[in-house]
Amino acid sequence: MSKRTIVTLPGDGIGKAVLDETLRVLDAAGFEAEYVEGDIGWEFWRSEGNPLPQRTIDLIAEHKIALFGAITSKPKDEAFEELAPELKDKGLIYSSPIVGLRQHFGLEICARPCKTYKGNPLNFIRRGKGNDIEEPMVDVVIFRQNTEGLYGGVEWSNPNKQVYDAFMSHPKFKANFGDVPVEEVSISTRIFSKERTENILRAAFDYAKKYGYKSVTLAEKPNVIRETSGMMYKMALQMQANDYPEIELWNTNIDAQMMWLTKNPEDYGVIVAGNMFGDIVSDGFAGLIGGLGFACSAQWSLDGVAVFEPTHGSAPKYADYDTSIVNPIAMIESACMMLDFIDEKDKADKIRKAVAEVIEEGKTKTYDMMKMRGKPDVINKGAASTKQMADAIIAKL
Ligand code: NAI
Ligand code: MG
């Protein structure tokens, strides 16, 4: 069989450092692939006025599978300031290339696992009965709708007359905002489609079934956000009853869910939510298992395009260190999700086992695991560099 081709998208800041180390780990696990690098990120915004060039879209369309580091995004005005002078009069407006990728390829399913590693000094602990300290083992996978809802981009400030009139035809808008001058109105919509809501729910239930989780929890707010959350809840009830009677459906409100997060995180299995609530609840759970250095993700379309990325950003303040200090585990775990996706689960499991051994042994820890503030001198104080962490994992492999 010919080697598989993977598109690598290092992006900005620490993206390159964590991706380079991840490729070494993949190699050490015996995964054979051709890698082709795609241009994405701030550099291409500045020099070409497009952080997601068409040639990168073409590469992903051709090879389907991409490993993505991180990008830098900046507010509209700052982005404009940094554009190459010859591009400044072209009316270009910056938009995030990762959101662009999600929408272009319809990467509507996002999965974010949060699993406790034994011995991770960053694990959440709480006080139990009789004041003893408990360290609950979290094993949760969040399924987040990735393309619509509040991040769908349908929004206006000072909306035009047609839009404003349409909103004024809604009695609640009229009653609550009817006397606000139109130039003082900002609107961001939360649109859910039935088809894509069905798809994210099914992905969550299928995953729970395949991997033996006993429950799927819908973390929305159907009692208040009646149309979108309400539709999602009704569909979840029906889907569970018709197709997944062996899995329990739990319904929590997103706000209460965030409160319960620290109370009984070990009780949850698969969690499913719309775009924004999925983003929030997944960051919440990530905090319990070590934070951004450990939070991985996968996103895919139903026709098989998939992008795997750590949930952290480009951490620009650490980008230019001579020796990179950031934790590569989130990126390495994201690559394991890629291996699962392309039927190389044995190699993914091998890498996960190696990571688990390094963490449990506790000899190699990046600065975040030592609870240090990120500075160049953390290496002198005993923290492992990005490369040393990868080396330790490779040694276990
Ligand atoms: P960030 O995730 O880049 O960094 C926040 C803090 O988390 C860092 O200062 C660092 O203390 C810690 N951190 C992040 N990754 C780490 C790692 N691998 N190991 C150890 N510690 C780590 O988020 P921030 O500072 O809000 O944003 C920086 C830039 O990244 C912005 O331009 C933002 O737009 C972009 N961003 C990009 C994302 C993406 O590429 N998907 C996601 C989030 C932010
Ligand atoms: Mg987030």
Looking at residue 47, what is its pLDDT?
96
Protein residue closest via CA to atom 26 of ligand 1: 313
3-state secondary structure of 186: strand
Give which of 309, 258, 255, 312 is closest to 285, Cα–Cα. Answer: 258
How far from 211 is each of 126, 204, 208, 216, 270, CA to CA, in Å? Answer: 28, 11, 5, 12, 10
The CATH code of the domain that includes 200 is 3.40.718.10
Residue nearest to atom 5 of ligand 1 (CA): 315
What pLDDT was estimated at residue 129? 86
Which atom of ligand 1 lies nearest, measured to the CA of 309?
Answer: 41
Q: What are the distances in angstroms from CA 125 to CA 132, 261, 262, 271?
A: 10, 12, 9, 21
Domain containing 183: what range? 155-188
Same domain, 30 and 76: yes
Question: With 70 as the cut, is the pLDDT of residue 1 above it?
Answer: no
Tell me the DSSP string of 41-72: SHHHHHHHS-SS-HHHHHHHHHH-EEEEEE--
**325 burial type by CB count under 10 A (0-12 exposed, 13-18 middle, 19+ buried):** buried
Distance 215 CA to ligand 1 centre (A): 31
- Note whether 233 and 274 are within 8 A (CB): no
**Domains identified in the chain, total number:** 3
Is a pLDDT exceeding 80 seen at residue 63? Answer: yes
CA angle, corner 250, sides to 248 and 255, nearest 5? 160
Sorting pLDDT into bands at 50, 70 and 90, what band is 75? confident
Residue identifier of the C-alpha nearest atom 8 of ligand 1: 315
Q: Is residue 234 part of a domain?
A: yes
Average pLDDT over the chain, rounded to an integer: 96
For residue range 247-301, what is the model confidence (pLDDT) as tens digits? 999 999 999 999 999 899 999 999 999 999 999 999 999 999 999 999 999 999 9
**321: confidence class by pLDDT, cuts 50, 70, 90:** very high
Residue 146 domain-assigned (yes or no): yes
Calculate how far, in angstroms, residue 293's C-alpha sits from the geometric centre of ligand 1. 10
> How do residues 193-249 score in pLDDT, each as one tens digit?
999 999 999 999 999 999 999 999 999 999 999 999 999 999 999 999 999 999 999
At 18-42, the pLDDT tens digits run 999 999 999 999 999 999 999 999 9
Looking at the fold, whether 58 and 13 belong to one and the same domain comes out as yes
Ligand 1 atom nearest to CA at 374: 11
Instruction: List the residue whose alpha carbon is closest to atom 40 of ligand 1.
Output: 70
Answer whether residue 297 is part of any domain: no
